[in-house]
Amino acid sequence: MRKDLDRLVDAAREAVCRAYAPYSRLRVGAAVLTTKGNIYLGVNVENASYGLTLCAERVAICAAVAQEGPEMRLKALAVVSDRPGPCPPCGACRQVIFEFGPDALVIFQGPDGLEEEPITRLLPAAFRLR
Ligand code: THU
């Protein structure tokens, strides 16, 4: 598992340079590890109409669903940016991570380097449709 997680962080770092972020100039890269053992990548994709911006994490999750289908489940997700300092997943991404990986581990840049937390710690009261 540790080797898979190291590969995941490397993959997210490798994706960062492909972000489309001409407005914020913050490049973000994400990589997801699915329960099938596959890795999919995402980057943030901004738009002149700012609200249309897509976060790297959700782009990666959508890529995974597009390849594996609706049963796709997340084992882990890594997100990094091209700047030092914190880059935790935003609230909207946390809810989407939870949807596909209620047991997923999330790796992200904290103030002093990489941190790892289960999604349920990052989003303690996730919305569920019952
Ligand atoms: N961004 C992400 O890609 N993921 C997050 O979880 C938070 C923010 C991106 C969106 C936007 O392109 C840039 O960071 C600045 O908000």
DSSP category for residue 128: -
What strands, in cross-sheet order, belong to the sheet with 113-118? 39-43, 28-34, 74-81, 105-110, 113-118
Q: 2-122 sits in which CATH class? A: alpha beta
* Reported pTM: 0.97
Cα separation, 65 vs 52, in Å, equals 20
CA–centroid distance, 30 to ligand 1, in Å, is 11
CA–centroid distance, 107 to ligand 1, in Å, is 15
Closest ligand 1 atom to Cα of 53:
12
116 is a catalytic site residue: no
> Which two tokens mark 1?
């598992």
Closest ligand 1 atom to Cα of 92:
6
CA–centroid distance, 28 to ligand 1, in Å, is 6
From first to last of its 130 residues, what are the pLDDT tens digits of the chain?
Answer: 899 999 999 999 999 999 999 999 999 999 999 999 999 999 999 999 999 999 999 999 999 999 999 999 999 999 999 999 999 999 999 999 999 999 999 999 999 999 999 999 999 999 999 9
